[in-house]
Every structure is written in structure tokens, then in C-alpha cells.
A and B are shown apart, each in its own frame.
Chain A
Amino acid sequence: MTSSAPTTKSAAPELLRELAGVLPAANVLSRPSELLPYECDGLSAYRQRPMVVVLPETVEQVARILAICRRRGLPVVARGAGTGLSGGALPLVEGVLMVLAKFNRILELDPVRRTARVQPGVRNLAISEAAAPHGLYYAPDPSSQIACSIGGNVAENSGGVHCLKYGLTVHNILKLEVVTIDGDRLTLGSNAPDSPGYDMMAAMTGSEGLLGIVVEITVRLLPLPTHTSLVLAAFDDVESAGAAVGGVIAAGIIPAGLEMMDNFAIRATEDFAHCGYPVDAEAILLCEVDGTAEDTREQLQRVAAVMREHGATEVRVARDEAERLLFWKGRKMAFPAMGRISPDYYCIDGTIPRDQLPRVLGKMKEWSAEFGLRVANVFHAGDGNLHPLILYDANQPGELERTEAFAGKILDLCVEVGGTITGEHGVGVEKINQMCTQFASDELEQFHALKEAFDPRGLLNPGKAVPTLQRCAEFGAMHVHRGELPFPELERF
């Protein structure tokens, strides 16, 4: 991470003229004041002013802008709502930032076949809102769902609180319309259960804007569950709570959501959201079950029993819908609550096998003391997807660097215990070095080869998601991958 003052470059007048031939003048931004809001995404420690911002409104315009960029050899970065947490939509100094926010229409909602065809700039929550009158919803629900775009969700393969049972974005989308850098308009997937040829939906989902511009998405809608109940269980120590997570699964229950918060997060949230959390608990678990009335009742009893078996000091079942929403409110407000008690926080996104929860949480506590930085844990425990929030103050010299070092240690530990450096936020620019820890050079080369099949000249979001071997060689001087010396074939510096 480097938060040095961004260099800037102004767009050549001929480029602006060419773009103005494709777009209304108001949709081409190049004055510094206009560019400012696009300097960063949700990861604000990285900033870079783009050369120019374009806001296309039609697929035709997207294709023509890409043609201009291709001809001029200009890199293109796509941006949805800019809520990404890994710098995926960070502009490039000599690049075009293509903002898809104006693609904000739901094109078709078919309540009979339970699908919705939407433009990429549509907000995640807007789909469920439009589907609600038909008793339907779109299942993946990132905490950022009021703001983030479905196009961004596809690019990041976003998850949410309910993905343990209902899957990630990749499990809930049927079809994509994509414009490639070569100007081809492709249909990936279909409204049928599958498509001939390779699984292109798999390649595109989670590709962080490196393979093509997604201009239309058909999502699958699900019937709203008729009954939903929430259990809040409090624990004296984090380890027991971690063990209870495995216990629920071992009991054969797949909860709709299973979230954990540690004491620090509980206190901060309670002060802010007043949702009735037990502030003395070392950890709480929020476990949601859904289904038919009978099913829910039965699962609820079993979940409560498992929690007690694992030493829960208190087990509360939300009395009604209002209390259920109140318990969730705390969870959803946890991030803003942290923002209130610390000038800055840094959110990490590693995933680990569930049985490693106690060990990894224990290590984090230890390191927190070592680095002198507070950590709050609020995360998708059911999936083993950690979101430690390291609290820091960017204005204190050295704190950001210490935070990064701490975060790097946590991510390395995630890989070491058999997990991954990112469960749902993506690699972007943020975790590009950690990619060298998780993958060997042959694997990275394979990623680059796949990218080349889509984008031979590397114009789409270059420098993100997959590090060059060169970069890893430099970074690798400090890291050893799976016990081997990395990149023996490359020259050392």
C-alpha cells in the first residue's frame, strides 16, 4: 500500500474530442474537481486521479469507448458504485475510468420464471426491493447492499450474510452480456440450467474487471422464506463460540446465516446502535434459520441446544420480527460503529477452515498486543470468512505501515492454515503481494494466459488482481512460498 500523493496526467485534447463524439459532453469528466470523487473506492488509503472519467449509458457507447481505448492503447478501469474494499476500481494515472452508474435500470422482472434482467449499475438491494411484491428476492446480500452495484458484485463474486445456505453471486446469476476489449458482444450463460462449451460464467464471475465489461446481468430470484428466526448466543470466550460454529454444522444444520462478533465489536456496536447486545460477553453468535414454520421451530431448538452444549452463557431467541431486525441491525452497523471510535480502520477478508477459528483468533489477539493496534472481529463465521478490523490513525506516523504489516501477517496465517487471502472482497491492488504467497509462479502464469485469451494487450484493469512474476520476485525476496524459494528461474535483484 502506498498512499503517497497521486501523480496526475491530463487527458489529451484529441482524446476528449473523440470521447465527446461518442458521449454527451456531461458524461465525459476531465476537470480536476470533477475527477476528485473518483479518486478511490471503498479502500480510501489508495488514491489516484484518473485521466478522464466516462459515464456511458448504452451498450453501444461502451463498445465505442472501448474501441477508442483499444486504438490508443489506453487502459480502462470499470467502476460500479465504488464500494469495493480492495482497490479494484482504483483509477490508473494514464487510464480511462468507465463508470457504469448510469446503467441503472431493471430491464425485466419475470415473477413467473423468477428471474430479473438488470443493468450493471443497479444497486444490489434494488433488485430485492423490486422483487418483493412478488414474494421473491435476490439472495446474495453484501452488507454494502444499499449502495453496491450488481455489476460490481459479479466482478467480485460478492457474498453476504446468507451465502452459507444460498451461495455467492456465482451461484445466483444465470446470464451475462459482456463487451470485450475487442468489441465483441458476448452472451455468457443462459436462462437454461447450463450452456454449451466452457463455463464462461465461472471465468467472468470474480474476475475484477480484467476480462470484459459486464453490461447486463440476469439473476435468479428465490421465494422469500415464510419463516425466519434468529438466535443470539453469548459466550465467555471466543474459542467456545468458534467451537459452537462447528457444532451447529455437525448437528446437520445449515443456518441461513451464522455470524460472530467479539467483545470489542459488541461494545462499539451497542454504543452506536443500541440493539440490546450483552456487552459483557466475550463473543456472540447470531444464527438465523429459515424455512417453513415447523422446520424453523425445530431447527431453532436444535441450534439453542448446540449453543448451550458449547457453553453459551445466554441464549436468546428473537421474540418477533422487530427484535430479529434489531439484532441484525447491530451486525450491519458494526462497520460504521468502528468508524466512530477510531479515525481509520482497515478491514481484512481472509477465509479459513472453520476448525481453525479458535487458533487464528487467538493469534490475532497476541499480535494485536505486539503491534499495539486494536482489532475488532465481526465476521461470517459459518463460512470461516474473517473480517478483522484493525483500528488505526492514518495521521499518526507509522500507524498505517504497522497496520499493513499486521494485516499481512494475518493473511499469511490464513494461507498457512489452509485458507485464502480473500473470501469476498477481491485482490484488487490491495492484496496483490499476498497473491505471491498463495500462488506459485506456474499458477500465476496460468492466470495471465487466461487473461490474454480475453484481453491480449492487457488493457482492462491492468496491474490488479494478478501480480506479474517480476513483482512477486521482488516481493518474494522477503517471502517463501510453501517452503520453496519462489521463482528460482527469475534473476534476483
Chain B
Amino acid sequence: MRDADQSAALRDQVAAAHAAGGSLEICGGGSKRFYGRESDTPGPVLETVGHRGVVHYAPTELVVTARAGTPIREINAVLSENGQQLPFEPPELDGDATVGGTLAAAFSGPARPWCGAVRDHVLGTRVINGRGKLLRFGGEVMKNVAGYDVSRLMVGAMGTLGLVLEASLKVLPKPEREVTLAFHMERSDALVFMNGLGDRPLPLTGAVFHGGIVYLRLAGSAAAVSVAMSELSGEELPSSDAIWRSLREFEHPFFDTKLPVWRIALPALAEPELPGEVLIDWGGGQWWLRSDAPVATIRDPVSALGGHATLFRGGDRGGEVFHPLPPAMAALQERIRRAFDPAGVFNPGRMVAVAG
């Protein structure tokens, strides 16, 4: 597909829907259709894949700006030619994942605890709000505190605050060397071990526990990696990349299941008893659970430890797939949504059920 700027056409579609009191389902490459709530009142699809292309890339500025429909795979390729990468390691999902969808769903890969999440790398956006207005927030510079940080607010909003047309993302150099080490241990020990790695500055960019094994990814300068390797010992895997790629792309055998898959975010060292098999990523911060147990048996122990549980894939997509908010917070977030999209044009019900 060729690069094209469809901002004006997209804006006209939104403005028309707003005027007619209609709604729209924003869709990029469709790679995350499985995620979020099923819409209560599905409207016509607003396609962003035609609105694509890298608009500006300046390696020494550490920033890339691309249109919403640009595949993440394409961005990765462009950056790679210059020895750079997206530090938050978003999934490519067979090449279908786009910039817009990555921001909307806030999918960050295994490097997240050490290199930051999607939101940490968003420097600016162009968006269309629910009134059909084309707006620009932030920019391409590293530091910018003029106005509220609307760009970051778009991240994880599932399109309900606006259509992200374009995003400027901070990029970083690729590490010189990457290795993966394996360590055999019990789960509780693994949590302590992974958490303890943060006590000293190690070149760490991955820590996952599954099937009685902790896998660590070390990435950085060749010198730093080899020192860390000898300090940590552990058994070096022949292919450093395979496990991280499989986690990032949800291709790890753990995800090959008909059971509902839950994503659970937890504070360091929290160890809830959960009804099903788990895989622990992000050094203990992100747990994956395969389970069709009742929702309360999953959310209650997680809430008690200060975490939250998302029904990531499968299960009841018409229910509350995102962890419910306390009433005052839910009310405030609904007011925020209306501030951006008063008539409810975008993805109604994709995050929370449409009120009344």
C-alpha cells in the first residue's frame, strides 16, 4: 500500500457522524479486534490503514513521526536501518499492528519495566476529536509542558477520546549485544530473584518466569553484557531472540489455548493465588493467566494486592473486560470522555458499557 495523507477525509467522516448523531468503529490493521469490549451499538467502520507512512524520521533527534495506519513492522524496518528501535517493543502481529492501534491499546513488549511503556515514548500526536476537529498536541521534542499532556492521555484510551491521526515517538539506539540466560527455580524464589535484579544497574531488558524457569534478557554494550553474564552466571540460550519474540507476539505456547486469557498487572513481589496456569512477565509486574474461573475469583485477590485484571482475550466480551473503577473515578473518566467526544461518536462501549 502507498503512503497517503487521508486526514481531511477522515475528519469529514467524523464530522458527518457527529452531525448525524451516529457512531464509528475505528479500525487500523484489525490486529486487536479481540481486545477490549464488544461494542454495544456497533457503528460503521472508520478505516485508518489507508492513512499511512512515516512523515518524518530524524535519527539524531531520536524521534519518528508516522501516520496512524503505518504498520509497526514498517517502522521497525526503517529504524533498524539506522541502528535504532522502538524501546517499548510493541507487537507487530503478523504485520497488521499499526501505530494508531498500538497507542490505543497501549501494548508494550517484554522490555517495558526497564525501557518504558508506549505512553513513555509518545512525544506528540495529531488527533481528531469527537467534534470532528483536527488537533495537534505535543510535538517532536523531548520536553514539552505547554498545555495538558493530551497525547499521553490518548494512550490506552481504545480510541474513545479521539482518532489518533499521527504520532511522534521517541526512539533509541539498538543494543550492541543481546543474550538470554535461563535459571531454574520455584515461583516464589523467581519473584524475589527478578525483583532483586533492580537493586543494581544491570543491562536488563527482559525477565520472565514460566515452567520453573526464569529467562533474563541482557542487552547493551558488549562490555556491559559480558560483565553482567559472568556476574549472574545462568545458562545461555542458543537463540536469544526467540522467547522474547514469542511473548511479544503472543505466539508463546502459553497463549495457544481456548481458555480465556487474562492480563494481570501487579506491584513488585505480589503473588496472588490464581485459578489457572500463569506466565509471569515484566519481572513480576505482568501476569498472564489462562482461566475460565468466575471473574471474582480472579479480580478479588488481584485487587487486594493493589493490581488489576483485564480479560485480555476470549471470555465474555460484553462484560467488564477492564477492571472496574471506583465510582468517583469512573464518573470523572466519563466526564473526560465527554470532553473529547460529547456525542459518543468513537467506539461506544469499547472500554466501558455505555451508560444508561
Footprint of B on A, CB under 8 Å?
112-114, 135, 156-157, 159, 163-164, 167-168, 170-171, 180, 184-187, 190-200, 202-203, 205-207, 211, 222-226, 246-247, 249-250, 252-254, 290-295, 297-299, 351-355, 380, 383-385, 418-427, 431, 435, 438-440, 442-443, 445-447, 449-454, 465-466
Contacts and interface: CB of A to CB of B under 8 A. Distances in A.
A422 B336 contact: no
5 contacts: A112-B268, A114-B268, A191-B268, A195-B265, A353-B140
Contacts of B153: 198-199, 202-203
B143 A298 contact: no
B325 A171 contact: no
Interface stretch (B22-30, B91-99, B116-124): B116-124
A206 B149 contact: yes
A291 B224 CA distance: 8
Interface in B190-214: 195, 198-201, 203
B336 A203 contact: yes
Contact of A199 (B119, B224, B337, B338): B119
A341 to B, nearest CB: 28
Given A254-B173, A419-B141, A203 B113 contact: no
Given A249-B61, A292-B201, 13 more contacts: A167-B120, A186-B328, A191-B268, A193-B113, A194-B117, A195-B308, A196-B324, A202-B153, A205-B149, A211-B148, A294-B226, A420-B141, A443-B136
Given A197-B333, A250-B60, A418 B140 contact: yes
A443 B139 CA distance: 14
B112 A202 contact: no
A442 B135 contact: yes
Contacts of B228: 292
Contact of B129 (A194, A418, A419, A446): A446
A197 B325 contact: yes
Contacts of B351: 197
Interface in B84-143: 106, 112-113, 116-117, 119-120, 129, 133-137, 139-143
Contact of B61 (A298, A355, A435): A355
A273 to B, nearest CB: 26
Contacts of B119: 199, 202
A198 B200 contact: no
B267 A418 contact: no
Nearest to A453: B335
Given A250-B60, A353-B141, A171 B148 contact: no
Contact of A352 (B141, B310, B325): B141
A426 B226 CA distance: 43
Given A194-B156, A298-B223, A446 B135 contact: yes
Given A197-B329, A446-B129, A431 B146 contact: yes
Contacts of A439: 146-147
Nearest to B324: A196
B266 A192 contact: yes
Contact of B149 (A170, A294, A385): A170
B47 to A, nearest CB: 24
Contacts of A443: 135-137, 147
B172 A254 contact: yes
B66 interface: no
B83 A226 contact: no
Contacts of B328: 184-186
A450 B285 CA distance: 31
B311 to A, nearest CB: 11
Interface in B218-242: 220-221, 223-224, 226-228
Most buried by A among B146, B156, B328: B146
Contact of B199 (A198, A223, A418): A223
A294 B335 contact: no
B221 A170 contact: no
A383 to B, nearest CB: 4
A112 B329 CA distance: 30
Q: Across the A-B interface, give the 7 residue pairs with the lowest CB-CB distance, nearest first.
A: A202-B152, A294-B223, A191-B267, A423-B143, A252-B173, A453-B335, A449-B339
Contacts of B157: 198-199
B60 A190 contact: no
Contacts of A200: 329, 333
Nearest to A435: B146
Contacts of A192: 265-267, 285, 306-308
A190 B264 CA distance: 13
Contacts of B306: 190-192
Nearest to B325: A197
Contacts of A197: 322, 325, 329-330, 333, 351
Contacts of B324: 196
Interface string B274-293: 00000000100110000000
